[in-house]
């Protein structure tokens, strides 16, 4: 026969009875669940709960021989080959009860981390005008610091494409339209990078307008992970880019900030706020060529580049 415990006034328990301590419930939130080695993961156990007390300890193990303590911890998984890890969280409450949870983390190996992608850059003339508008594009400024560019692929933004270092295209428009033109350059190691600019096509005569000015400042690289297995597993370097000096012509404003980081990654922002990027390098010294293109409300743009050099001491 089951017995019952009576809780008296003031929280006392009737004689012969005791209340059982309920174990806490462990909960894991991970910033990412998969990625390339070395993979930095932020773990958060603050969502763990204890219904009849409080949690007094958070213990982590990562199945790579390391452990940590705390409600929030960062961990870098850096295998030399693909690996799936199991992060285990153990929480203990003030009554000594323990709850656990596990989370799998998949780590891949990046292909050819030493190859620097090309820097895609093109000019075109005219940048705007009345329809039909014939535009000549020139990708002669595109370069690759550790190889050769072997493919120039164009998307003219109106449903047509083309290829070649220098190419022309005629735009037809029924109404004033800004066409995004994208160049994708591919080097002889298969790495690619792109640049996008706008061609403005009008159905009426336009008044000459001034373009914006792009400015970009880059912080000194901050090494956030020093790899002990160079060059097969790269180190990680964090850099902050600040476009604050970029300005539009009087009476206009910049609508989009387009970043290419020189390692194949890119980003697009609507505000002139600083942006962070993490570089990977297994070489003793490596220079990445980053760029910023600003586009204003007229569809005009300007670009600027900065060199970012990371050093593995």
Domains of the chain: 23-108 (2.60.40.10), 110-205 (2.60.40.10), 209-313 (2.60.40.10)
- Name beta bridge partners: 277: 239
pLDDT of residue 7: 42
pLDDT of residue 12: 45
pLDDT of residue 209: 67
pTM of the complete model: 0.45
Total residues belonging to the chain: 313
pLDDT of residue 4: 45
pLDDT of residue 80: 86
Helix or strand run (H / E) with residue 168 = strand 166-171
Contacts of 185 (CB under 8 A, 6+ apart): 118, 119, 120, 139, 142, 144, 149, 151, 152, 153, 192, 193, 194
pLDDT of residue 17: 54
- pLDDT < 50 stretches in the chain: 1-4, 6-13, 205-206, 208
């Amino acid at each position: 026969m089951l017995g019952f415990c009576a809780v008296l006034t003031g929280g006392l328990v009737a004689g012969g009875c005791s209340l059982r301590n309920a174990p806490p419930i462990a909960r894991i939130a991970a910033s990412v669940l998969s990625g390339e080695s070395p993979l930095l993961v932020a773990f958060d156990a603050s969502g763990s709960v204890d219904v009849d007390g409080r949690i007094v300890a958070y213990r982590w193990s990562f199945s790579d021989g390391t452990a940590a303590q705390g409600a929030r911890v960062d961990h870098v998984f850096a295998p030399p080959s693909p690996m799936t890890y199991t992060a285990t969280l153990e929480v203990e409450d003030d009554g000594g009860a323990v709850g656990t949870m596990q989370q799998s983390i998949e780590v891949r190996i990046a292909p050819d981390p030493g190859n620097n992608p090309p820097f895609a850059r093109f000019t075109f003339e005219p940048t705007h005008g009345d329809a039909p508008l014939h535009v000549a594009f020139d990708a002669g400024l595109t370069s690759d610091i550790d190889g050769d560019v072997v493919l120039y692929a164009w998307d003219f933004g109106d449903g047509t494409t083309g290829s070649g270092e220098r190419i022309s295209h005629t735009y037809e428009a029924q109404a004033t339209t800004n066409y995004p033109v994208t160049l994708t350059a591919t080097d002889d190691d298969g790495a690619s990078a792109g640049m996008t600019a706008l061609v403005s096509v009008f159905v009426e005569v336009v008044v000459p307008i001034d373009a914006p000015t792009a400015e970009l400042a880059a912080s000194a690289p901050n090494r956030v992970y020093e790899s002990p297995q160079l060059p097969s597993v790269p180190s990680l370097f964090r850099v902050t880019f600040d476009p604050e000096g970029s300005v539009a012509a009087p009476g206009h404003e910049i609508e989009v900030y387009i970043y290419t980081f020189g390692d194949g990654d890119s980003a697009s922002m609507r505000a002139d706020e600083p942006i962070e990027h993490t570089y990977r390098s297994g070489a003793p010294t490596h220079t990445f060529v980053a760029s910023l293109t600003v586009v204003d409300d007229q569809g005009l743009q300007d670009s600027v580049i900065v060199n970012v050099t990371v050093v593995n001491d």
